[in-house]
Structure 1
Amino acid sequence: MLNLNSTTNKERVEQPVQTPTATAPSLLDITDSFDRRHNGPTPEAIAQMLQTIGCNSLDELIDATIPAAIRLQQPLNLPPARSEYDALADLKEIAAKNQIFRSFIGMGYSQCITPPVIQRNIIENPGWYTAYTPYQAEIAQGRLEALLNFQTLIIDLTGLEIANASLLDEATAAAEAMTLSHGACKTKANTFFVAEDCHPQTLEVVQTRARHQGIEVLVGNPATFDFDRPIFGALLQYPASDGTLYDYREFVERAHHAKALVTVAADLLALALLTPPGEFGADIAVGNTQRFGVPLGYGGPHAAYFATREKFKRQVPGRIVGISKDADGQPALRLALQTREQHIRREKATSNICTAQVLLAVVASMYAVYHGPEGIRRIARRVHRATAILAQGLKRLGYDLGDRPFFDTLRVPLNTRPLPQILEAAAARRINLRVFDETAVGVSLDETTNERDLIDLLEIFAGSESLPFSLEDLVDGLDDSYPAPFARSSPYLTHPAFHSYHSETELLRYLKRLETKDLSLTTSMIPLGSCTMKLNAAAEMFPVTWPEFGKLHPFAPKSQAEGYQILFQQLENWLAEITGFSGISLQPNAGSQGEYAGLKVIRAYHEDRGEGHRHICLIPTSAHGTNPASAVMCGMKVVAVACDDNGNIDVADLQGKAEKHAENLGALMVTYPSTHGVFEEQIEEICEIVHRYGGQVYLDGANLNAQVGLCRPGDYGADVCHLNLHKTFCIPHGGGGPGMGPIGVRSHLVPFLPGHGVVELGDDQSIGAVSAAPWGSPSILTISWMYIAMMGAQGLTEASRLAILNANYIAARLAESYPVLYKGKSGLVAHECILDLRELKKTADIAVDDIAKRLMDYGFHAPTVSWPVAGTVMVEPTESESKEELDRFCDAMIGIRREIAEIEAGSLDREHNPLKHAPHTAQVAIAEKWDRPYSRERGVYPAPWTREHKFWPPVGRIDNAFGDRNFVCSCAPMESYTEG
């Protein structure tokens, strides 16, 4: 492990709030304040919207919406707002404090080359990064095709039968594999074997995950483990963390004889040359696709992969893209087997994973598409050849490397020179090596390694600037091929997708074709309740691809990451001020992981006080599905709390259940404002009841965007809260990821915040690591830093106020067409509203899905469908949408209601009408035959704006049941679409 002399969480949060350079009040006004660019409604529009709602002022609206008892009485203590130009300049100054060394540390992270055509057209393209999770598959075909390519890449390289559309990182993917193995094992074994030469961060995350699931983690040597005790599963690293290649066939056979499942954490690039895990018997393969074109980013975001046998398809965590057909029999893609989703299965879910790493999976897939199988093989051969040359040179210098096979990593015993001399020579050349201990270092090469790197490395180990040989000498007679059983013989990436786009011109056009099949924020508002699809400003996105942030290895010495440490400290302090908490951990790299980390902190707190038996978790029936799933992952028992007719927590039921379970009450999980879109008046009483009976209050921060600057969870009773930075703080959704889910805690919980053994982060009482990298996905934290810096306290507060205004305006405009299901005591909603469509099923046989698909013809993504109440839609406009866009959406919803009225009146057929046949594709519109009892024009141009700019859904309504009956999750030939 590396000793980077990192400060603890406690040390960081107890430092005073430090503001960046040039934050004193300026003598000159900002000529172009960012909040005017971010917030949609103009002052004139605000006045008109308030009139529609029936309020005289925005202050009156907020006073009537948020309980007075929890309102903030003073502005947030944040630095003054900066212009885009000034904020970028300040962050550039911070970034310059990072030092970009050549890192040969490895441990699952490698420097790589992001092809510029991919960087410009995916990572930096809002058409890709502002799209939402592809739940409405008809308008997400481009992203789904890219993800299908990703799954095919993983299936082909691992030699397994199915793969999902990505997970968060390699370490948590390994932990998910452990959970799957535990559930699928037919024995009563409770021990999970982990090879001692797995990456240390993976081992730590697995140990963290196992603790409250009743699983014992046994660390040992696969070569000597004799299966003298029952195990349900095993985790192996391939190649091992020190670079060694082992033939695992015998171990896998013995594990299977013991009825255990075997997971292999494999380097994906190495699998281009090595026998894939599926061919030597592995049941599951996991790993990181970072070296497929994704920048290091000091640890993330990166897309992990997860592949397994088809018999485990219903236990696979996360999402799987599958092939189906649309209403016209054309091939169409969608998310498959969604009964696995935690929002449906809740506490019975096999995983709490919600956000994946879609944008990064798209990058990795397009890296493979661009290079093709031969290109990937050439890159892998180049990396291995460079490592072989380095090994030859080290042997000539007297280093005993043995004869162990390797791919890209060498463990170098320091039998001729002491460690300090090696490290000093490396530092002089701005090179980082991995330190195993005082006697050995590691060197991992990558696709960026060149001849100058090899010479520098050899000179470091030689202790001289002149070598007794040349690189050409080392190449003579070099055999860098693999013998059996390591050499790969099976083909991969045989589908045409990986053979058709190898020129930049062809890839550029392919990417644009896929982009035009997706509806993103570049097309129209995406009014998804609880998902907060707001503006992701260009100025916020710029720094993500700055090399000062993108090229740092997550385990580089802290002295080289001073800029990142400043960014972390400032962002933690700002988030602490915004939430009212004493400590922040940035490590959880998704909202679901924030939930998990928060509950783990609560459990650790109870155990520290000798009350580890407190395992009951109270969860309202309205909660996000990830809440009960996270609780079960933490070894808690879920007890449901009822909601009343107004959608609020039934306080009497809460009181009764808290009292009944007083001895074992661990926590309450509550979302605020509620999932029903209301600020509950009794939130302080709710928190007080839980505290009275010994529990802690976990607040789901999914709806924090309605609270910033108006009220703070830490003030009204919450003990811990996760923050969806990909919602409230402008990290874009990326088509389903990346996300970030930091947690904030009260002072008594600070010692238990996540730590990380590799960099010695955290207190002695820390729950350990919950993510592979110490600070989760650091490179996208720059987005939230920019947002807060540019908005300032006033801008952030106004954003919350306008989010509430916009939601109430939509509720008021649509009230005559669709009943609003839940309102607060003043007849108002919070930042989102639920429209009740259930009666339309009775009066016109129109289901909520019919309305969702018809909205596509109007050029809109549907709101959140049938959640949290079946037969409803939940609408959230966010503060960054203008009145004009809100009116366009309302006009679309009102237009659809008029069509439904025609069905009710009998003037439109109940079976053959624009809603039942929606969405209408261009292929349908131009077909010679039109046999529907309404005009083509009505079907495809339902509103005036669709004539000015028409978004054409690329496929018709998708048959999900067909896709699940005929499960295909990789690129397939056309005959796959034929049933039977």
Structure 2
Amino acid sequence: MKTNAFALRHIGPRPTDLQHMFNTVGVKDIDQLLFETFPDKIRLQKDLELDPAMTEYEYMSHITELGSKNKVYRSMIGLGYHEAIVPAVIQRNIFENPGWYTAYTPYQAEIAQGRLEALLNFQTTVIELSGMEIANASLLDESTAAAEAMALLFDVRTRDQKKNNANKFFVSEEVLPQTLSVLQTRSTPIGIELVVGNHETFDFSEDFFGVMLQYPGKFGQIHDYGDFINTAKTKDIKVAVAADILSLVRLKSPGEMGADVVVGTTQRFGIPLGFGGPHAGFFATKEEYKRSMPGRIIGVSQDANGNRALRMALQTREQHIKREKATSNICTAQVLLAVMAGMYAVYHGPNGLRFIANNVHATAVTIETELAQLGFEQVNDAYFDTILVKADAAKIKEVAEKNNYNFFYADANHVSISVNETTSLKDINNIVAIFAEVAGKSFETVTELSGLALVPVSLERTSAFLEHEVFNTHQSESQLMRYIKKLERKDLALNHSMISLGSCTMKLNAAAEMLPLSLPNWNNMHPFAPASQAEGYLTMLHKLEEQLNVITGFAGTTLQPNSGAQGEYAGLMVIRAYHESRGEGHRNIALIPSSAHGTNPASAAMAGMKVVVTKTTEEGNIDVEDLRAKAEQYKDSLSCVMITYPSTHGVYESSIIEITSFIHENGGQVYMDGANMNAQVGLTNPATIGADVCHLNLHKTFAIPHGGGGPGVGPICVAQHLVEFLPTNPIVKVGGDNAITAISAAPYGSALVCLISYGYISMLGAEGLRKSTETAILNANYMKARLQEGYEVLYSGERGRAAHEMIIDCRMFKSQGIEVTDIAKRLMDYGFHAPTVSFPVAGTLMIEPTESEDLAELDRFCDAMLSIRKEIEAATAEDTNNVLKNAPHTLAMLTAETWEQPYSRQQAAYPLEYVSENKFWPTVRRIDDAYGDRNLVCSCAPIEAYMEA
């Protein structure tokens, strides 16, 4: 046995466990289980053609050597990306800490109070700096947040009778180029006409419903938008502003000017550049638009004892509920990065942020002053951190790159220089020296920053921000370290126990995959740095694309989509472009089975398609005849079918090739949702089953951690005929020869975390990937066999097997007064996060163990579920005071002087022996969701203040 093989560390069950597992399942070996689980006609006949697997040590040597090929210059390119200082206390205790990066989306709020508090801090920071009333808990990046703002304003326009038919959206020419590209992508399918121009000459005509402004502008100019916004209001035109968050420490907020929506990125609040991501975008708006607001909102509520408790608020507005009627398909946030950005604000506090912002501005003013003495004219009459200098761009570029500096060259005669919190006096002198060399002049060394200000008095910020206690008590490292640990202890993550969420694939995020993210050659690269400086990155990214091509059987891949929902949308937009290229732009029908993820119909609607829902059989499979009938009915306008394989119900449907064939016969394309790709890798692939495009959730199948609900990466892989349409970027050319416009801001999306998937594939190799898939299937069927002692498994394959996940039916317990939620909350007392609740079938639990859970952990979970089954047997509909209804049980409850429950404290807190060895305590009792929605509070102000108001 190769004891240094990565597969041995990643895959949970030991070789000595396998026979016991086979016996429990009722098979002699893995081959028999696969035969009984997997349709033979879609089975790959040979192993994937991938490079031999590396050991962890070999991979670290390889990735370090590859990283050395990245030339990390001092990048002052700007355009929404700025080098930031990641405080070491945040890097070590959050960014590199599995207690933070392996947590799941806080759907089970009682065991996510720490993460929820950190996100509430983030929301408070955004609300107060933007001057708005409500903010969400992050979006994917600035450009996609701007697109969400446009969609929100398009949605709310219908409330105004005069604007019902308005379809024009004005975009200032000052907007970042990548944002404009994403706006172009997102506007066309839903019938929005973009008009780009100078905001100072905008005519405010009646056919406009909204406007997008940039503050400061893309090359640094600050405009006072107050009069513009006032005029827009008189014409019933709503205004969105894309704002630089650090500048808002110094500048009057867009909210104070009257903006309706404010968006941006929090990257410069202590988040690495990472060649473009992941970074937490922000979105803030007025409370009246909260029902149309995209993304997650963290709200304050109360628990069963009336104590303050946090939760995700207003979930009924999201795509999983509203489906094609949703205004957004966004499913993943950037939680880990939002936590870091919020903690950066906590650590620095308002005084620290003012110091940083003032220093940045003074640095920019100092550079302008020195360049003026050399005879260079600076164009901007007001700016925060970016100056635009008249100069011979080619000459400056040559000398700058020779000295390891990157500026942005707006045109042949203008150089844009953006400074940041890392820019030092040494940098100032180096920059001046570059221009002095071009000018053939000498200069005196700069020894101090200028005291001048080039922010107009009318735009200086006068309003207070971040006065809450949390932003004013953690300025020492000891204080912040303890605060972070205090929050971490409130959250259950993978470093405590398995998280068996069906469809979400909470597998091991191996340390060897994660370590390179902290290396400066990887995490400090600007996404618009010249390709000659990014050889390491481009080699890794293109190799990952090749690996994913081999795994899926497809011809091309784009890594640009930075979430699974973005990947869905990208895939559908590529299909749309393909039909249009053939003169069949009228094809707009998307067939979607009723069991599909809610993001599927939401994505289709965003891509301008009409959703037609198809039936599901009683066995949980696609109703083939209904799908065939609808494909034939709509054959003249059929765009695509969206299918998940194996199905959302955890079954490999043998009819899949028949389905893809008749879709093609009727002129449609096959989009495969890659949510369950981890049950295909090495055994079959989307190309083999007849798909044309699939998106992959790298944060599921390919080991990027969920980070509490993000980051994610959602690349799409496509067949040869779709390669030419893969998306591009306006600054760095990527994508196909007939590329659609950008899907997200950066050319390669969240490039930094792509290192994780590259490492996962490189260290597992073809054999390890196949064994991972086989073990995921074995683990699921082992749990199925054990859980059938007490529960009914809702769907199985034709030979009675599950795929990589299964659904257990809890609806029959209603007669005893027990709901599926009671089981989910009771699992917390046993030290487990609940499986997926009530999806895709209400009243059920969808369980997915993944390949990285070992036999002992599988047994602990099964023991807990079977113990809960006995507790259900003892319950009655008339008795609501039982161990299930009262779950979860907190330490405060168990240590109170009085105990009036009809069961013992021991049964409540330590129902099985293993629990006492490693007890996890929920910090709040069951949370009242309805109360939180009725009394929406989404910032740090104490709830008493709102109750009094």
Q: By the TM > 0.5 criterion, same fold?
A: yes
2:926 match: 957
Counterpart among 403, 411, 422 of residue 437 in structure 1 = 411
In structure 1, distance between residues paired with 2:482 and 2:3: 39
Counterpart among 46, 51, 55 of residue 74 in structure 1 = 46
Is 1:936 the counterpart of 2:909? The answer is no
Q: Which shows bigger deviation, 181-190 or 831-840?
A: 181-190
In structure 2, distance between residues paired with 1:438 and 1:547: 32
Q: Check whether the contact 2:830–2:864 (CA below 8 A) recurs between aligned residues.
A: yes
Q: C-alpha offsets along residues 227-249 of structure 1, whole Å, 9 cap, x if unaligned?
A: 24521111000000010000101
Counterpart among 564, 574, 585 of residue 601 in structure 1 = 574
Q: Check whether the contact 1:331–1:977 (CA below 8 A) recurs between aligned residues.
A: no
Q: Check whether the contact 1:325–1:977 (CA below 8 A) recurs between aligned residues.
A: no
Is 1:732 the counterpart of 2:705? The answer is yes
AA aligned opposite 2:434: I
In structure 1, distance between residues paired with 2:471 and 2:325: 38
AA aligned opposite 2:54: R
Counterpart among 366, 371, 389 of residue 343 in structure 2 = 366
Equivalent positions of 1:266-665 (< 5 A) are 266-402=243-379, 404-414=381-391, 418-463=392-437, 467-472=442-447, 475=450, 478-480=451-453, 482-665=455-638
Q: Which shows bigger deviation, 923-932 or 292-301?
A: 923-932
How far off is 1:473 after superposition? Answer: 8.4
How far off is 1:631 after superposition? Answer: 0.2
SS across alignment from 1:670: strand
Q: Which shows bigger deviation, 848-857 or 245-254?
A: 245-254
Is 1:98 the counterpart of 2:70? The answer is yes
Q: Check whether the contact 2:780–2:804 (CA below 8 A) recurs between aligned residues.
A: yes
Q: C-alpha offsets along residues 265-286 of structure 1, whole Å, 9 cap, x if unaligned?
A: 0000000010000000100000
SS across alignment from 1:667: strand
AA aligned opposite 2:281: A
SS across alignment from 1:772: coil
Q: C-alpha offsets along residues 73-116 of structure 1, whole Å, 9 cap, x if unaligned?
A: 00110111111000111111111111010001000000010000
Q: Check whether the contact 2:425–2:447 (CA below 8 A) recurs between aligned residues.
A: no
Counterpart among 881, 887, 906 of residue 912 in structure 1 = 881
Q: Check whether the contact 1:602–1:696 (CA below 8 A) recurs between aligned residues.
A: yes
In structure 2, distance between residues paired with 1:345 and 1:272: 37
Q: Check whether the contact 1:616–1:661 (CA below 8 A) recurs between aligned residues.
A: yes
In structure 1, distance between residues paired with 2:2 and 2:441: 57
Q: C-alpha offsets along residues 439-483 of structure 1, whole Å, 9 cap, x if unaligned?
A: 1110000000001111111121122686333425883xx422633
How far off is 1:46 after superposition? Answer: 1.5
Q: Which shows bigger deviation, 139-148 or 754-763?
A: 754-763
Q: Check whether the contact 1:324–1:977 (CA below 8 A) recurs between aligned residues.
A: no
Q: Check whether the contact 1:174–1:202 (CA below 8 A) recurs between aligned residues.
A: yes
Q: Check whether the contact 2:214–2:241 (CA below 8 A) recurs between aligned residues.
A: yes
How far off is 1:584 after superposition? Answer: 0.6
How far off is 1:402 after superposition? Answer: 4.5
Q: C-alpha offsets along residues 510-546 of structure 1, whole Å, 9 cap, x if unaligned?
A: 0000000000001100010000000000000001111
How far off is 1:147 after superposition? Answer: 0.1
2:4 match: 32
In structure 1, distance between residues paired with 2:946 and 2:220: 43
Q: C-alpha offsets along residues 570-590 of structure 1, whole Å, 9 cap, x if unaligned?
A: 111111001100001111110
How far off is 1:30 after superposition? Answer: 5.0
1:7 match: none
Is 1:243 the counterpart of 2:210? The answer is no
In structure 1, distance between residues paired with 2:380 and 2:928: 56
1:85 match: 57
How far off is 1:764 after superposition? Answer: 4.0
Compared CA separation, residues 688 and 519, structure 1 to 2 (3 A): same
Q: Check whether the contact 1:392–1:474 (CA below 8 A) recurs between aligned residues.
A: no
How far off is 1:204 after superposition? Answer: 0.4
Gaps of 5+ in 1: 1-28
Is 1:704 the counterpart of 2:677? The answer is yes
SS across alignment from 1:262: strand
State the aligned residue count.
943
2:895 match: 926
Is 1:176 the counterpart of 2:144? The answer is no
SS across alignment from 1:442: strand
1:841 match: 814
SS across alignment from 1:860: coil
Q: Check whether the contact 1:110–1:446 (CA below 8 A) recurs between aligned residues.
A: yes
2:170 match: 193
Counterpart among 109, 118, 131 of residue 90 in structure 2 = 118
In structure 1, distance between residues paired with 2:812 and 2:400: 72
In structure 2, distance between residues paired with 1:976 and 1:911: 33
1:150 match: 122
AA aligned opposite 2:252: T
Counterpart among 85, 108, 111 of residue 136 in structure 1 = 108
1:969 match: 938
Q: C-alpha offsets along residues 124-166 of structure 1, whole Å, 9 cap, x if unaligned?
A: 0000000000000000000000000000000010000000000
Q: Check whether the contact 2:120–2:299 (CA below 8 A) recurs between aligned residues.
A: yes
Q: C-alpha offsets along residues 171-218 of structure 1, whole Å, 9 cap, x if unaligned?
A: 000000000000111202101100001110000001011111111110
AA aligned opposite 1:294: I
Q: Which shows bigger deviation, 396-405 or 287-296?
A: 396-405
2:726 match: 753
In structure 2, distance between residues paired with 1:288 and 1:919: 37
In structure 1, distance between residues paired with 2:415 and 2:34: 60
1:48 match: 20
Q: Which shows bigger deviation, 248-257 or 759-768?
A: 759-768
AA aligned opposite 1:942: P
How far off is 1:44 after superposition? Answer: 2.2
How far off is 1:412 after superposition? Answer: 0.8
Compared CA separation, residues 684 and 976, structure 1 to 2 (3 A): farther
Q: C-alpha offsets along residues 873-902 of structure 1, whole Å, 9 cap, x if unaligned?
A: 000000000111001000000000001111
In structure 1, distance between residues paired with 2:14 and 2:733: 49
In structure 1, distance between residues paired with 2:935 and 2:356: 36
In structure 2, distance between residues paired with 1:547 and 1:244: 31
In structure 2, distance between residues paired with 1:494 and 1:403: 33
In structure 1, distance between residues paired with 2:941 and 2:884: 31
Q: Which shows bigger deviation, 363-372 or 457-466?
A: 457-466
Structure-1-length-normalised TM-score: 0.95
Is 1:264 the counterpart of 2:236? The answer is no
In structure 2, distance between residues paired with 1:253 and 1:947: 63
Q: Which shows bigger deviation, 52-61 or 30-39?
A: 30-39
1:899 match: 871
